[in-house]
Amino acid sequence: MTTVIDGRELEPPEPMVRTLEALDTLAPDDDLLLLLYCQPQPLFRILSKNGYTWSDELRADGTREIRIRKLPG
């Protein structure tokens, strides 16, 4: 199952707060899709240090699709 957080029209720090809250309940086989107009470097550091993997794709309209998943094990 994919949970989607559209942070493009949310004022900081709301996108990060919602992402951190969603990750707390993310099941091992699920993923979280975060939509933003910027690269969230602070979030990337949290993810790498807490055992998450992510992909970051840039859409033609400038939206970044950040897909987050728990690393196995």
Partner 1 sequence: MDPSLSFDQAPPISVPYRFFLAAPWFGVMAGLLLAWSGADALASRWTPGALALTHLIALGFMLQAMCGALLQFIAVAVGANVWRPRLVASTVQPLLLLATLLLVAGLLYGRPDWLSAAVPFFLLAIGGLVVVVALALWRTPATGMTLWAMRMAIGGLAITVLLGALLAEALAHGFAVPLVELTDVHLAWGLGGWALILLAGVSYQVVPMFQLTRPYPPWFARWFAPLLLFFLVAWSLQLFPGDARWSPMIALPLLLILSAYAGITLWLQHTRRRKIHDATSLYFRVAMLSLLAFAVSAAAIFLLPEIAADPRSAIWLGVLALAGVFVSAITGMMYKIVPFLNWLHLQRLGAPLSAVPNMKKMITAEAMTGQLRLHVLALLLLLAAVWLPGLSRLAGVAFAASCAWLGWNLVAAVRRYLDFRDRIRASGSHR
The residues that bridge with 3 in the sheet, in sequence order, are 32
**According to CB under 8 A, which one of 4, 6, 12, 71 is a site residue for partner 1?**
12
Contact yes or no for 8/37 (Cβ under 8 A): yes
User: CB of residue 73 vs partner 1: minimum separation in angstroms?
Assistant: 18
Nearer to partner 1, 26 or 67 (CB): 26
Contact yes or no for 18/43 (Cβ under 8 A): no
Note whether 66 binds partner 1 by CB under 8 A: no
Residue 4, CA distances (Å) to 1, 49, 73 in order: 10, 22, 24
Interaction site with partner 1 (CB under 8 A):
8-13, 16-17, 20-21, 23-24, 37-39, 41-46, 49-50, 61-62
